[in-house]
Amino acid sequence: MFLRYRIIIIVLITLFAVYNICIYSTKESSTFIKLSSQAVSGQQLWQENNCWSCHQIYGLGGYLGPDLTNVISHPSKGSQYVKAFLNSGIKSMPKFNFSEEEKNAIVSYLKHIDSTGYYPNYNAVFKPTGWVELKYKYNDRNEK
Amino acid sequence: MIEMKNKTPLLFIIAALLALLLGVFFGLFASLQYIIPDFLKEYIPFHKMRPFHVTTVISWIILCVTGSIYFFITHIEKLSLYSKKLSKLHFVVFIITAIGIYVSFLSGKMEGREYLSYTPILTIPILFGWILFGVNYYKTIAKNVKNWSVYYWMWATGIVFMIYHLCEAHFWLIPGFRERFITDMAVQWKSYGSFVGSWNMLVYGTAIYLMSKIKRDSNLAHGKMVFFFYFLGLTNLMFGWAHHTYIIPMQPWIRYVAYGVSMTEWIVLGHIIYSWIKSLSIKDKQEYCMVYRFLKAADFWVFINIILALLFSIPAINFFTHGTHITVAHSMGTTIGINTTILMASVFFIVQKILPSFKTTTLFIKRSYYLFNIMLFLFFCTLLYAGVIKSNWMYFTKDIHFSEMQDSLFTTYIAFFVFGLGLAISITTLSLTLFKALFKVLKSN
């Protein structure tokens, strides 16, 4: 019995290894865009200042502030809107003393995130099986 | 009172209880900032308070389960530990790292990500501690135990996967990797999902260990069925994480796999209902009254949480619950309802073993136990309600600002704080009682 359990573990670990390699190496889309060095700096600032404590990206993060996935492309928001909040703070959000360069880096990071997809995904299609077909932004770009 | 030559397991548990108390109070202060946004804003705003809370409560789970495993294998199973020095070193490494993490938070050096927000260099000693634990555990068990019970397997796999997923959670440090935003985000949440799965392996292994000891039935940890559930749990740990990331625009095949694997948990749910009904006729074991009560409470929370998890593993439901407080309700139900109740059972079991004169059936302890469960249930329901309001705002309302939706939840957040306070009081009374007993043993040894 002990040997049988060992074999099951080995099979599972082998499958897990193959699965991980596929996940790490798979391309998210045919037209995926890499983070620029400015966006990477923005990401670093995002982490150093724990922006994720309150804000979400694709619904993942904190609950005190709004989700920022599509804040840049939102018709009534955008880059200046983000910078204004960074300058002034609001309620629990403190005022951050970022330089213009740092604010541009954060905006650049958010711009990149915005280009990767939609959240909430209002145009997703529901299937009778319980599956949801997401609307992909890169498909929209390709169609255009 | 038994004489303890190696007190390291107790030190782990005392440190764990301290972390629990601290973590709960950090959580209370953070929840207060939902009601009074300016509260402590100048000194420790929410975005700095939250990492204190999250890291400290994770430490409670890790330290308590580690101390429990060391205690069970050395003091109950009477196995000779491969190296006592390694276990002491393990404790020292974890405590120094914990101090390092607090220093990192206080000095504002938080370059990490959610749940692991401390400066990433501190992951090295944490990994080192886990490797020490793994070596010590494996050498001890492999040498002394022939036919491994399921809990030995669970603890072993929990340690191995903890090391792996801790590494995986830091793949973002590789420059080429972090540039691929979607893959990076998917892997980050993959690692977190499996990281929780890994500590669940350790905690659930502890629950099975306690059940087999209370019932004095070793078959409980050896049967084919129990191994079937172990492998099912392991499969979910490895492949079932992606229901956290259904909404991220990654390749659909990853989501298909996760959907399929997650649905296998219906089998677990069916089994829980079956065993629960079967066990109704079993009378409380008076000898381990509080251990038994906490395990029963864990049973209830497993039942509630698995229903919730299964529901939002269905993409059509996940679509509406994702990004709302319903996800928080699930994580609170898991970490407090399941993990903390099992670990409380474990600490009560250990205290009763080392200090048989310790009375666990006092009215004070019983009241604290009931307060804990009632408050947690209300806390859980409040989060579900807040989640429904947020989901409704996201998908069924237009032109209402986020702040207006948050303001409409003001009363709900007050309830959230009040139930959190009740929870904190019950956890404090239980922990202090256990503290007293553990210190008594430490002092007299």
The nearest alpha carbon in chain A to B223 belongs to A1
Q: Which residue has the tokens 């983070």?
A: A35
Residues of B in contact with A118 (CB under 8 A): 249
Distance from CA of A58 to the nearest CA of B (A): 6
Average pLDDT over residues B211-234: 84
| C-alpha to C-alpha distance for A16 and A53, rounded to whole angstroms | 31
| Contact flag A54-B46 (C-beta cutoff 8 Å) | yes
CATH class of A34-119: mainly alpha
| Contact flag A130-B315 (C-beta cutoff 8 Å) | yes
DSSP letter (8 states) at residue A134? P
Confidence of residue B341 (pLDDT cuts 50, 70, 90): very high
Residues of B in contact with A122 (CB under 8 A): 395
pLDDT score recorded for residue B2: 64
| Contact flag B179-A134 (C-beta cutoff 8 Å) | no
**Buried (b) or exposed (e) across B182-201, using 16+ Cβ within 10 A?**
bbbbbbbbbbbbbbbbbbbb
pLDDT at B274 over 90: no
| Contact flag A50-B111 (C-beta cutoff 8 Å) | no
Q: Which of B20-29, B205-214, B405-414, B436-445 has the lowest mean pLDDT?
A: B436-445
Could you report the per-residue pLDDT of A15-54, keeping only the tens digit for each? 999 999 998 887 766 556 789 999 999 999 999 999 999 9
What are the angstrom distances between the C-alpha of B409 and each of A68, B1, B106, B398? 20, 51, 31, 17
pLDDT score recorded for residue B309: 86
**Of residues B241 and A77, more confidently modeled:** A77
| Contact flag B316-A117 (C-beta cutoff 8 Å) | no
Residues of B in contact with A66 (CB under 8 A): 402
Q: Which residue has the tokens 């997650």?
A: B262
Question: Chain A to chain B, count of Cβ pairs less than 8 Å apart?
Answer: 163
Distance from CA of A56 to the nearest CA of B (A): 8
Residues of A in contact with B117 (CB under 8 A): 47, 50
| Contact flag B33-A64 (C-beta cutoff 8 Å) | yes
Residues of A in contact with B180 (CB under 8 A): 28, 32, 34-35
pLDDT score recorded for residue B286: 62
Could you report the per-residue pLDDT of B128-146, keeping only the tens digit for each? 999 999 999 999 999 999 8
Average pLDDT over residues B157-186: 93
Confidence of residue B312 (pLDDT cuts 50, 70, 90): confident
Query: In 3-state terms, what secondary structure has residue B114?
Result: coil
Residues of B in contact with A95 (CB under 8 A): none
Tell me the Cα Rg of chain B.
22
| Contact flag A116-B322 (C-beta cutoff 8 Å) | no
Nearest CA to B41 out of A129, A93, A65 is that of A93
| Contact flag B46-A53 (C-beta cutoff 8 Å) | yes
The nearest alpha carbon in chain B to A120 belongs to B394
| Contact flag A60-B244 (C-beta cutoff 8 Å) | yes
Q: How many CA atoms lie within 13 A of B106 on its CB side?
A: 6
Q: Residue B154 in contact with residue B208, Cβ under 8 Å?
A: yes
User: How big, in percent rounded to 5, are the helix, strand and coil portions of chain A?
Assistant: 50, 10, 40
Confidence of residue A77 (pLDDT cuts 50, 70, 90): very high
- Domain spans, chain A: 34-119
Cβ-nearest to A24 among B187, B238, B246: B187
pLDDT score recorded for residue B256: 83
Nearest CA to B202 out of B151, B239, B262, B240 is that of B151
pLDDT score recorded for residue A142: 66
User: How many percent of chain B have pLDDT more than 70?
Assistant: 95
The nearest alpha carbon in chain A to B313 belongs to A130
pLDDT at A144 over 70: no
| Contact flag A59-B323 (C-beta cutoff 8 Å) | yes
pLDDT at B61 over 90: yes
Average pLDDT in chain B = 90
pLDDT score recorded for residue B147: 86
pLDDT score recorded for residue B249: 84
Query: Is the overall model pTM greater than 0.90, yes or no?
Result: yes
pLDDT at B412 over 70: yes
Distance from CA of B55 to the nearest CA of A (A): 13
Question: CA torsion, points A97, A101, A107, A110, in degrees to nearest 10?
Answer: -100
Residues of B in contact with A51 (CB under 8 A): 47
| Contact flag A92-B37 (C-beta cutoff 8 Å) | yes
Distance from CA of A97 to the nearest CA of B (A): 14
Distance from CA of B296 to the nearest CA of A (A): 29
Could you report the per-residue pLDDT of A108-138, keeping only the tens digit for each? 999 999 999 999 999 999 999 998 998 888 7
What are the angstrom distances between the C-alpha of A9 and each of A13, B98, B234, B412? 6, 33, 9, 46
